[in-house]
Amino acid sequence: MSQTDKSAPNIESVLHEARVFPPPKAFARGAHLKSLAQYRQLYRESIQAPERFWGRQAKDELVWFRPWKKVLRWNEPFAKWFVGGRLNVCYNCLDRHLGTPTANRAALVWEGEPAAPGKPGEERVLTYQQLHREVCQFANVLKRNGIAKGDRVIIYLPMVPEAAIAMLACARIGAVHSVVFGGFSAQSVADRICDSQAKLVITADGGFRRGSVVQLKKNVDEALGLRDASGDRLAKSVQRVIVLRRAGNDIHIEEDRDVWWHRELEYVGAHCPAAQLESEHPLFILYTSGSTGKPKGVLHTTAGYLLAARMTTRYVFDLRETDVYWCTADVGWVTGHSYVVYGPLANGTTSLMYEGAPNFPEPDRFWRIVEKYGVTVLYTAPTAIRAFMKWGEDWPRKHDLSSLRLLGTVGEPINPEAWIWYHRVIGAKRCPIVDTWWQTETGNIMITPLPGATPTKPGSATLPFFGVLPEVVDDQGNPVPRGTGGKLVIRRPWPSMLRGIWGDPQRYREVYWSEIKHSYFTGDGCRQDPDGYFWIVGRIDDVLNVAGHRIGTAEVESALVSNSKVAEAAVVGRPDELKGQALVAFVTLKTDVHATPELRGELRDHVAKEIGPVAKPDDIRFAEALPKTRSGKIMRRLLKQIAAGTEIKGDTTTLEDFSVLARLSQAEE
């Protein structure tokens, strides 16, 4: 299992792991949950009588147009929550706050990427009242452009308030959004359009990233022209493109197809009732990588997702009325969906959105923003924390970070040193840290401390959230003793679980519900310590976690072999101090193609073009052949060891050709 893949933990890390941090007293006093006993009692109830527990929560937490008849209908692996109920996610994020003091509170505070060192970025604040108005107007724009309940809409925007506006507008009329991260390529956009059969694309002329313009509209133009192997246009379902003026760069406008966002607004009013949708009405599709094939369209629906988004955001971040909450994720990932947009807004919180990178124009960008807006809760990724460690303490020390009261982390296991650094340098030893484990598929946070109640241990996501029943099991599905590694599964359906893979119920069953009987398989390795705390080890399937981004090795391999010079490719992860994992590609070339440093660059760019810059291999190693078993399977375990530079262990007698192994080990150049 991949625990052995990670570089051996150093002694410092082991010592840190053994430490326990009780909730700070001053913090616990004002917290929603004040003791571990209180958590345990609620948790027990949520597991012993789940329908009663969730029924009560749904009633207390959400605004319904019509109450549900049945809390859960479970026909493994298909769940229906709050059957018969009607509600609207957008209504629960915006309308419910109108007529309350929250109406005039900032809903979104946005900071754009700054132009120069020391300069603030562009800024914009939208109160709940204002956001409601903008969302209603844009929902009318969607309708005007032929979008109705159930239609799919692709959102391919930079981190600007309009991304949230577009999502909420879809939710308001029951259109199903699929946000595509701005760092993905034209090919990825086309694949997602094709799979979801989207009718509309919402994009911008461009977005800013590290001082240059990301050509979003140009990518969309290209995506709409791409063809599959049989010559069919991949994106032929798209009838309209709505373009936001953002970067001011020159773009092509296709008559009869492309319209400007600001122009469209001139034709609509600000009145748009929220559609009364079934509890299981699809809310969004988000594509994520798996161990095989193209990314899967993970489907989330209305009531269960919203309930968990609202509850987890409030309990995990212990929200209070005075919070300025900042989750640094891009809305292109699930973290942005649940913890930039839906969770915070459903709670009437101020959610901060930042467009740029953490170190542009200088490495104190985050700390400058924390100081400027008085951020109280900060939720970011271990990979960012490790980068801040590398850039040094002087950058955060230049700023007043005393407004912070709670810190969160997500996306990959956090190494204890990074945890301690975050605690000491950013949190001034005063702020609890919530290490939150979850996945695109789970919709919301699943394993996490509840600050105020849960003592934390650096590197552990600690204990399950209400209603979540995780277990560490062996290959047969039997629970393993504490302290032993195994597969992490979830034993019960939960409200925000994925409802399926868009258009492919069979794949849903196979990927998630076949590995271990009657359980949801997470793809992660894990162990529980004697206190029952969960320690996530990382993926045990062929999925890599590179700087918190999920990348399927199969996808990168097929991108590589789509290049005419490549014969075969195998992609594996190598431990990386900053990114958690780095991508290493072993490549064999077609006859007469020579391995050169230029070709290495060419192949990396090719992957960026096929998938997006996030999937670029960090290292490409040319080899004469790939090590395979007699049945022709690539020996990934071996390649991982070679990539990591570790000694080759285990049984290699099934290797087809021993000499390949020797050559690979020297394949550096």
Sole window of 2-10, 11-19, 407-415, 585-593 interacting with ligand WT7 (rule: CB under 6 A):
407-415
CA angle 285, 289, 290 (to 5 degrees): 115
CB of 492 to ligand WT7, least distance (A): 18
- Of 458, 411, 475, 418, nearest to 438 by C-alpha is 411
Distance CA 515, CA 136 (A): 44
Q: Is 197 left (phi over 0), alpha (psi -120 to 50) or beta?
A: left
Q: How far is Cα 596 from Cα 231, in angstroms, rounded to an integer?
A: 33
Q: How many CB atoms lie within 10 A of CB 42?
A: 17
Torsional class of 318: left (φ above 0), alpha (ψ -120 to 50), beta (otherwise): left
Query: Nearer to ligand WT7 by C-beta: 261 or 502?
Result: 502
Member of 410, 570, 611, 634 binding ligand WT7 (CB under 6 A): 410
Two structure tokens written together for 10:
């150093």
Identify which of 408, 326, 406, 335 has the alpha carbon closest to the alpha carbon of residue 370.
326
β-strand partners of 576:
580
Output the smallest distance, CB 578 to ligand WT7, in A: 16
550 binds ligand WT7 (CB under 6 A): yes
**Out of 173, 243, 353, 536, the residue judged to bind ligand WT7 by CB under 6 A:** 536
The least distance separating ligand WT7 from the CB of residue 17, rounded to whole angstroms, comes to: 14
416 binds ligand WT7 (CB under 6 A): no
Q: Tell me which residue of 493, 486, 483, 484 sits closest to 518, measured CA to CA.
A: 493
Residue from 522, 553, 563, 581 that binds ligand WT7 (CB under 6 A)? 522
In three-state form (DSSP H/G/I as H, E/B as E, the rest C), the secondary structure along 444-475 is CCCECCCCCCCCECCCCCECECCCCCEEEECC
Determine if 523 is a binding residue for ligand WT7 (CB under 6 A): yes
Q: How far apart are the first and last CA of the chain?
A: 29
Size of the residue set binding ligand WT7 (CB under 6 A): 22
**Contact residue for ligand WT7 among 312, 545, 581, 641 (CB under 6 A):** 545
Stretch of 35-43, 277-285, 522-530, 588-596 contacting ligand WT7, by CB under 6 A: 522-530
Q: Write the DSSP string, 559-607.
A: HHHTSTTEEEEEEEEEEETTTEEEEEEEEEE-TT----HHHHHHHHHHH
Q: Is 557 an interacting residue with respect to ligand WT7 (CB under 6 A)?
A: no
Return the residues of window 325-354 that contact ligand WT7 according to CB under 6 A. 334-335
| 555 contributes a contact to ligand WT7 by CB under 6 A | no
461 touches ligand WT7 by CB under 6 A: yes
| Residue 518 CA: distances (Å) to CA of 75, 492, 501 | 11, 8, 18
Would you call 400 helix, strand, or coil by DSSP? coil
> Binding of ligand WT7 at residue 539 (CB under 6 A)?
yes
Nearer to ligand WT7 by Cβ, of 364 and 412: the residue is: 412
Kindly state the smallest distance separating residue 289's Cβ from ligand WT7, in Å. Answer: 8
Is the CB of 471 or the CB of 524 nearer to ligand WT7? 524
With CB under 6 A as the contact rule, the residue among 85, 413, 443, 612 that binds ligand WT7 is 413
Q: Which range of residues in 129-137, 435-443, 554-562, 617-625 is near ligand WT7 by CB under 6 A?
A: 435-443
Query: Do the beta carbons of residue 469 and residue 47 sit within 8 Å?
Result: yes
Q: Are 619 and 632 in contact (CB under 8 A)?
A: no
CB of 114 to ligand WT7, least distance (A): 26
Nearer to ligand WT7, 208 or 437 (CB): 437
Closest separation between CB of residue 444 and ligand WT7, Å? Answer: 9
Which residue, 282 or 413, is less far from ligand WT7 as judged by CB?
413
Element (H, E) at 36: helix 36-48
Q: Does 472 bind ligand WT7 (CB under 6 A)?
A: no
Residue 580 C-beta: closest distance to ligand WT7, Å: 9
Binding to ligand WT7 in span 261-290, by CB under 6 A: 288
Our CB check for ligand WT7 shows the closer of 113 and 412 to be 412
Q: Are 615 and 582 in contact (CB under 8 A)?
A: no
Please, what is the minimum distance in Å from the beta carbon of residue 83 to ligand WT7?
27
Tell which one of 111, 191, 330, 412 touches ligand WT7 (CB under 6 A): 412
Of 43, 437, 465, 494, the one binding ligand WT7 by CB under 6 A = 437
Q: Which stretch binds ligand WT7 (CB under 6 A): 42-50, 256-264, 316-324, 431-439?
A: 431-439
Q: Please report the DSSP string for 315-379 in residue order.
A: HHTT--TT-EEEE---TTSHHHIIIIIIHHHHTT-EEEEE-S-TTSSSTTHHHHHHHHHT--EEE
Which of 304, 303, 286 is CA-nearest to residue 295? 286
Q: What is the DSSP letter of 103?
A: G
Which amino acid is residue 258, in one-letter code? Answer: D
Q: Does 134 bind ligand WT7 (CB under 6 A)?
A: no
Q: Between residues 306 and 544, which has the closer beta carbon with respect to ligand WT7?
A: 544
- For residues 423 and 23, the answer to whether their CB atoms sit within 8 Å is no
Binding site for ligand WT7 (CB under 6 A): 288, 334-335, 410-413, 435-440, 461, 522-524, 536, 538-539, 545, 550
